[in-house]
Structure 1
Protein backbone atom coordinates (compact mmCIF):
# COMPACT_ATOMS: atom_id res chain seq x y z
CA UNK A 1 0.00 0.00 0.00
CA UNK A 2 2.89 2.36 0.72
CA UNK A 3 4.32 1.66 -2.69
CA UNK A 4 0.92 2.23 -4.31
CA UNK A 5 0.63 5.56 -2.50
CA UNK A 6 4.13 6.58 -3.63
CA UNK A 7 3.28 5.77 -7.28
CA UNK A 8 -0.04 7.64 -7.02
CA UNK A 9 1.65 10.75 -5.63
CA UNK A 10 4.17 10.66 -8.48
CA UNK A 11 1.39 10.38 -11.07
CA UNK A 12 -0.65 13.13 -9.42
CA UNK A 13 2.30 15.52 -9.21
CA UNK A 14 3.39 14.82 -12.79
CA UNK A 15 6.81 13.70 -11.60
CA UNK A 16 9.12 13.91 -14.61
CA UNK A 17 11.11 10.91 -13.30
CA UNK A 18 8.02 8.69 -13.02
CA UNK A 19 8.92 6.41 -15.94
CA UNK A 20 12.45 5.90 -14.61
CA UNK A 21 11.05 5.11 -11.17
CA UNK A 22 8.54 2.61 -12.57
CA UNK A 23 11.22 0.93 -14.71
CA UNK A 24 13.57 0.64 -11.73
CA UNK A 25 10.98 -0.70 -9.32
CA UNK A 26 9.08 -2.92 -11.76
CA UNK A 27 5.69 -2.21 -10.24
CA UNK A 28 3.04 -2.92 -12.89
CA UNK A 29 0.27 -3.73 -10.42
CA UNK A 30 0.89 -0.69 -8.28
CA UNK A 31 1.13 1.50 -11.37
CA UNK A 32 -2.19 0.22 -12.74
CA UNK A 33 -3.94 0.58 -9.39
CA UNK A 34 -2.56 4.10 -8.91
CA UNK A 35 -3.55 5.03 -12.45
CA UNK A 36 -7.09 3.75 -11.90
CA UNK A 37 -7.32 5.74 -8.70
CA UNK A 38 -6.11 8.84 -10.56
CA UNK A 39 -8.63 8.27 -13.38
CA UNK A 40 -11.52 7.85 -10.94
CA UNK A 41 -10.46 10.79 -8.74
CA UNK A 42 -10.15 13.22 -11.63
CA UNK A 43 -13.03 11.67 -13.64
CA UNK A 44 -10.93 11.18 -16.77
CA UNK A 45 -12.72 9.48 -19.64
CA UNK A 46 -10.50 7.07 -21.54
CA UNK A 47 -12.92 5.65 -24.08
CA UNK A 48 -15.17 7.58 -26.46
CA UNK A 49 -18.90 7.43 -25.70
CA UNK A 50 -19.68 5.15 -28.64
CA UNK A 51 -17.05 2.64 -27.48
CA UNK A 52 -18.56 2.71 -23.97
CA UNK A 53 -22.02 2.15 -25.42
CA UNK A 54 -20.70 -0.77 -27.46
CA UNK A 55 -19.02 -2.36 -24.45
CA UNK A 56 -22.15 -1.93 -22.29
CA UNK A 57 -24.59 -3.18 -24.94
CA UNK A 58 -26.15 -6.61 -25.03
CA UNK A 59 -23.85 -8.20 -27.58
CA UNK A 60 -25.12 -11.76 -27.47
CA UNK A 61 -23.94 -13.90 -30.34
CA UNK A 62 -21.03 -11.58 -31.16
CA UNK A 63 -17.52 -12.68 -30.28
CA UNK A 64 -15.64 -10.75 -27.61
CA UNK A 65 -12.79 -10.31 -30.08
CA UNK A 66 -15.05 -8.61 -32.63
CA UNK A 67 -16.45 -6.28 -29.97
CA UNK A 68 -12.92 -5.48 -28.77
CA UNK A 69 -11.72 -4.81 -32.31
CA UNK A 70 -14.72 -2.57 -32.95
CA UNK A 71 -14.06 -0.65 -29.72
CA UNK A 72 -10.39 -0.18 -30.68
CA UNK A 73 -11.51 1.01 -34.11
CA UNK A 74 -13.81 3.57 -32.46
CA UNK A 75 -10.91 4.75 -30.30
CA UNK A 76 -8.73 5.09 -33.41
CA UNK A 77 -11.35 7.10 -35.30
CA UNK A 78 -12.98 9.20 -32.58
CA UNK A 79 -10.03 10.23 -30.44
CA UNK A 80 -7.12 12.38 -31.50
CA UNK A 81 -4.16 14.18 -30.03
CA UNK A 82 -3.58 13.77 -26.32
CA UNK A 83 -6.77 11.75 -25.77
CA UNK A 84 -5.69 9.14 -28.32
CA UNK A 85 -2.16 9.02 -26.87
CA UNK A 86 -3.57 8.59 -23.37
CA UNK A 87 -5.99 5.84 -24.43
CA UNK A 88 -3.21 4.03 -26.32
CA UNK A 89 -0.78 4.33 -23.39
CA UNK A 90 -3.44 3.16 -20.92
CA UNK A 91 -4.42 0.12 -23.01
CA UNK A 92 -0.78 -0.82 -23.59
CA UNK A 93 -0.07 -0.50 -19.85
CA UNK A 94 -3.00 -2.82 -19.19
CA UNK A 95 -1.70 -5.18 -21.88
CA UNK A 96 1.65 -5.38 -20.10
CA UNK A 97 -0.04 -5.86 -16.75
CA UNK A 98 -2.21 -8.63 -18.23
CA UNK A 99 0.65 -10.45 -19.93
CA UNK A 100 3.39 -10.26 -17.33
CA UNK A 101 2.58 -8.03 -14.42
CA UNK A 102 1.40 -10.43 -11.76
CA UNK A 103 3.76 -13.18 -10.86
CA UNK A 104 6.09 -13.19 -7.93
CA UNK A 105 7.76 -16.50 -7.12
CA UNK A 106 4.95 -17.81 -4.93
CA UNK A 107 1.87 -16.45 -6.72
CA UNK A 108 -0.57 -18.37 -8.83
CA UNK A 109 -1.31 -16.76 -12.18
CA UNK A 110 -4.68 -15.07 -11.89
CA UNK A 111 -5.38 -12.24 -14.30
CA UNK A 112 -7.39 -9.49 -12.63
CA UNK A 113 -6.57 -6.57 -14.93
CA UNK A 114 -10.00 -6.46 -16.65
CA UNK A 115 -11.80 -6.48 -13.31
CA UNK A 116 -9.45 -3.80 -12.02
CA UNK A 117 -10.20 -1.64 -15.07
CA UNK A 118 -14.02 -1.82 -15.08
CA UNK A 119 -14.72 0.97 -12.54
CA UNK A 120 -12.19 3.29 -14.21
CA UNK A 121 -13.39 2.66 -17.75
CA UNK A 122 -17.12 2.90 -17.08
CA UNK A 123 -17.45 6.05 -14.95
CA UNK A 124 -20.96 7.05 -13.95
CA UNK A 125 -22.41 3.83 -15.34
CA UNK A 126 -23.50 0.73 -13.54
CA UNK A 127 -20.02 -0.71 -13.96
CA UNK A 128 -20.68 -3.85 -11.93
CA UNK A 129 -23.67 -4.81 -14.09
CA UNK A 130 -22.63 -7.66 -16.38
CA UNK A 131 -19.04 -7.41 -15.15
CA UNK A 132 -18.02 -10.87 -16.41
CA UNK A 133 -18.95 -10.02 -20.00
CA UNK A 134 -17.35 -6.56 -19.82
CA UNK A 135 -14.19 -8.07 -18.33
CA UNK A 136 -13.92 -10.74 -21.02
CA UNK A 137 -14.17 -8.07 -23.71
CA UNK A 138 -11.68 -5.82 -21.91
CA UNK A 139 -9.27 -8.76 -21.71
CA UNK A 140 -9.50 -9.05 -25.51
CA UNK A 141 -8.94 -5.29 -25.86
CA UNK A 142 -5.87 -5.42 -23.64
CA UNK A 143 -4.41 -8.36 -25.56
CA UNK A 144 -4.80 -6.65 -28.94
CA UNK A 145 -4.08 -3.06 -27.83
CA UNK A 146 -0.91 -3.01 -29.95
CA UNK A 147 -3.18 -2.80 -33.03
CA UNK A 148 -3.79 0.87 -32.17
CA UNK A 149 -0.24 1.48 -33.43
CA UNK A 150 -1.09 -0.03 -36.82
CA UNK A 151 -4.46 1.18 -38.19
CA UNK A 152 -4.13 -0.97 -41.31
CA UNK A 153 -3.64 -4.14 -39.25
CA UNK A 154 -6.56 -3.13 -37.02
CA UNK A 155 -8.82 -2.68 -40.06
CA UNK A 156 -7.69 -6.01 -41.51
CA UNK A 157 -8.34 -7.85 -38.22
CA UNK A 158 -11.75 -6.18 -37.90
CA UNK A 159 -12.69 -7.19 -41.45
CA UNK A 160 -11.48 -10.76 -40.88
CA UNK A 161 -13.41 -11.16 -37.62
CA UNK A 162 -16.54 -9.63 -39.19
CA UNK A 163 -16.31 -12.09 -42.08
CA UNK A 164 -15.98 -14.99 -39.61
CA UNK A 165 -19.10 -13.86 -37.79
CA UNK A 166 -21.06 -13.53 -41.03
CA UNK A 167 -19.99 -17.04 -42.11
CA UNK A 168 -21.05 -18.47 -38.74
CA UNK A 169 -24.41 -16.75 -38.97
CA UNK A 170 -25.00 -17.99 -42.51
CA UNK A 171 -24.12 -21.55 -41.57
CA UNK A 172 -26.57 -21.43 -38.64
CA UNK A 173 -29.53 -20.24 -40.72
CA UNK A 174 -32.18 -22.89 -41.18
CA UNK A 175 -32.51 -24.18 -44.71
CA UNK A 176 -35.90 -23.23 -46.14
CA UNK A 177 -37.71 -25.67 -48.37
CA UNK A 178 -38.16 -24.67 -51.94
CA UNK A 179 -41.79 -23.94 -52.93
CA UNK A 180 -41.50 -23.87 -56.68
CA UNK A 181 -44.51 -25.62 -58.14
Structure 2
Protein backbone atom coordinates (compact mmCIF):
# COMPACT_ATOMS: atom_id res chain seq x y z
CA UNK A 1 0.00 0.00 0.00
CA UNK A 2 2.88 2.28 0.78
CA UNK A 3 4.29 1.53 -2.59
CA UNK A 4 1.08 2.63 -4.32
CA UNK A 5 0.92 5.76 -2.21
CA UNK A 6 4.53 6.56 -3.03
CA UNK A 7 3.93 6.13 -6.77
CA UNK A 8 0.81 8.31 -6.57
CA UNK A 9 2.68 11.08 -4.78
CA UNK A 10 5.56 10.95 -7.23
CA UNK A 11 3.08 11.12 -10.13
CA UNK A 12 1.46 14.17 -8.57
CA UNK A 13 4.85 15.78 -8.08
CA UNK A 14 5.51 15.31 -11.79
CA UNK A 15 2.46 17.40 -12.60
CA UNK A 16 3.92 20.44 -10.88
CA UNK A 17 7.29 20.29 -12.59
CA UNK A 18 7.99 23.22 -14.95
CA UNK A 19 9.27 22.11 -18.30
CA UNK A 20 9.65 25.54 -19.89
CA UNK A 21 7.78 24.42 -22.98
CA UNK A 22 4.72 26.56 -22.31
CA UNK A 23 4.71 30.39 -22.42
CA UNK A 24 4.49 32.38 -19.25
CA UNK A 25 1.30 34.28 -18.56
CA UNK A 26 3.24 37.20 -17.12
CA UNK A 27 3.14 40.48 -19.12
CA UNK A 28 5.87 40.77 -21.69
CA UNK A 29 8.03 43.92 -21.86
CA UNK A 30 6.36 45.04 -25.10
CA UNK A 31 2.96 44.84 -23.44
CA UNK A 32 3.92 47.45 -20.87
CA UNK A 33 5.18 49.93 -23.49
CA UNK A 34 2.98 53.01 -23.95
CA UNK A 35 1.76 53.74 -27.48
CA UNK A 36 0.70 57.29 -26.61
CA UNK A 37 2.21 60.20 -28.53
CA UNK A 38 5.17 61.63 -26.69
CA UNK A 39 4.80 65.02 -25.10
CA UNK A 40 6.28 67.64 -27.38
CA UNK A 41 6.89 71.20 -26.28
CA UNK A 42 4.75 73.76 -28.05
CA UNK A 43 7.00 75.93 -30.19
CA UNK A 44 6.89 79.58 -29.28
CA UNK A 45 7.27 82.23 -31.96
CA UNK A 46 10.06 84.66 -31.32
CA UNK A 47 9.38 88.35 -31.90
CA UNK A 48 10.05 89.45 -35.47
CA UNK A 49 10.25 93.22 -35.99
CA UNK A 50 10.23 92.96 -39.79
CA UNK A 51 7.12 90.79 -39.77
CA UNK A 52 5.43 93.03 -37.21
CA UNK A 53 6.08 96.04 -39.45
CA UNK A 54 4.68 94.24 -42.51
CA UNK A 55 1.58 93.16 -40.57
CA UNK A 56 1.05 96.76 -39.38
CA UNK A 57 1.33 98.04 -42.98
CA UNK A 58 -1.20 95.52 -44.24
CA UNK A 59 -3.58 96.22 -41.35
CA UNK A 60 -3.34 99.96 -42.00
CA UNK A 61 -4.30 99.34 -45.63
CA UNK A 62 -7.15 97.13 -44.47
CA UNK A 63 -8.41 99.82 -42.08
CA UNK A 64 -8.24 102.50 -44.77
CA UNK A 65 -10.00 100.22 -47.23
CA UNK A 66 -12.68 99.34 -44.69
CA UNK A 67 -13.43 103.03 -44.07
CA UNK A 68 -13.68 103.69 -47.82
CA UNK A 69 -15.92 100.64 -48.23
CA UNK A 70 -18.22 101.78 -45.43
CA UNK A 71 -18.60 105.21 -47.03
CA UNK A 72 -19.21 103.61 -50.45
CA UNK A 73 -21.77 101.23 -48.98
CA UNK A 74 -23.67 104.12 -47.40
CA UNK A 75 -23.63 105.95 -50.75
CA UNK A 76 -24.85 102.84 -52.58
CA UNK A 77 -27.55 102.28 -49.97
CA UNK A 78 -28.80 105.86 -50.43
CA UNK A 79 -28.87 105.47 -54.21
CA UNK A 80 -30.68 102.15 -53.94
CA UNK A 81 -33.26 103.78 -51.67
CA UNK A 82 -33.84 106.50 -54.28
CA UNK A 83 -34.18 103.92 -57.07
CA UNK A 84 -36.64 101.75 -55.16
CA UNK A 85 -39.92 101.48 -57.01
CA UNK A 86 -38.48 102.83 -60.27
CA UNK A 87 -37.95 100.56 -63.25
CA UNK A 88 -34.71 99.06 -64.38
CA UNK A 89 -32.90 101.41 -66.72
CA UNK A 90 -34.12 104.56 -65.00
CA UNK A 91 -31.50 107.17 -64.10
CA UNK A 92 -31.61 106.48 -60.31
CA UNK A 93 -31.42 102.73 -60.95
CA UNK A 94 -28.37 103.22 -63.19
CA UNK A 95 -26.71 105.39 -60.54
CA UNK A 96 -27.35 102.64 -57.97
CA UNK A 97 -25.78 100.10 -60.35
CA UNK A 98 -22.69 102.31 -60.76
CA UNK A 99 -22.46 102.67 -56.98
CA UNK A 100 -22.62 98.86 -56.63
CA UNK A 101 -19.79 98.51 -59.15
CA UNK A 102 -17.71 100.99 -57.20
CA UNK A 103 -18.51 99.09 -54.03
CA UNK A 104 -17.08 95.91 -55.52
CA UNK A 105 -13.88 97.83 -56.25
CA UNK A 106 -13.81 99.23 -52.71
CA UNK A 107 -13.83 95.66 -51.38
CA UNK A 108 -10.54 94.94 -53.16
CA UNK A 109 -8.24 96.19 -50.31
CA UNK A 110 -9.80 93.71 -47.86
CA UNK A 111 -9.32 90.82 -50.26
CA UNK A 112 -5.75 91.94 -51.04
CA UNK A 113 -4.92 92.27 -47.33
CA UNK A 114 -6.32 88.80 -46.66
CA UNK A 115 -4.29 87.35 -49.53
CA UNK A 116 -1.07 89.04 -48.38
CA UNK A 117 -1.53 87.91 -44.78
CA UNK A 118 -2.33 84.34 -45.78
CA UNK A 119 0.80 84.28 -47.95
CA UNK A 120 2.89 85.39 -44.97
CA UNK A 121 1.33 82.70 -42.76
CA UNK A 122 1.85 80.05 -45.44
CA UNK A 123 5.47 81.03 -45.90
CA UNK A 124 6.07 80.69 -42.15
CA UNK A 125 4.67 77.17 -42.33
CA UNK A 126 6.86 76.33 -45.33
CA UNK A 127 9.88 77.63 -43.45
CA UNK A 128 8.99 75.41 -40.48
CA UNK A 129 8.34 78.34 -38.17
CA UNK A 130 5.62 78.23 -35.51
CA UNK A 131 2.43 80.27 -35.94
CA UNK A 132 2.90 83.96 -35.19
CA UNK A 133 0.09 85.25 -32.93
CA UNK A 134 0.00 88.77 -34.39
CA UNK A 135 -0.16 87.34 -37.90
CA UNK A 136 -2.92 84.91 -36.97
CA UNK A 137 -4.94 87.76 -35.43
CA UNK A 138 -4.45 89.89 -38.55
CA UNK A 139 -5.60 87.02 -40.80
CA UNK A 140 -8.71 86.60 -38.68
CA UNK A 141 -9.46 90.34 -38.84
CA UNK A 142 -9.00 90.39 -42.62
CA UNK A 143 -11.24 87.33 -43.04
CA UNK A 144 -13.96 88.99 -40.99
CA UNK A 145 -13.66 92.27 -42.91
CA UNK A 146 -13.82 90.55 -46.31
CA UNK A 147 -16.76 88.38 -45.24
CA UNK A 148 -18.75 91.27 -43.76
CA UNK A 149 -18.12 93.41 -46.83
CA UNK A 150 -19.33 90.62 -49.11
CA UNK A 151 -22.41 90.17 -46.94
CA UNK A 152 -23.11 93.90 -47.21
CA UNK A 153 -22.75 93.78 -51.01
CA UNK A 154 -25.09 90.78 -51.17
CA UNK A 155 -27.73 92.51 -49.06
CA UNK A 156 -27.51 95.70 -51.16
CA UNK A 157 -27.83 93.67 -54.37
CA UNK A 158 -30.90 92.00 -52.93
CA UNK A 159 -32.35 95.41 -52.06
CA UNK A 160 -31.66 96.61 -55.60
CA UNK A 161 -33.50 93.66 -57.03
CA UNK A 162 -30.68 91.21 -57.39
CA UNK A 163 -29.97 92.06 -61.03
CA UNK A 164 -26.76 93.64 -62.14
CA UNK A 165 -26.08 94.77 -65.68
TM-score (norm 2): 0.27
Larger CA Rg, structure 1 vs 2: 2
| TM-score normalized by the length of structure 1 | 0.25
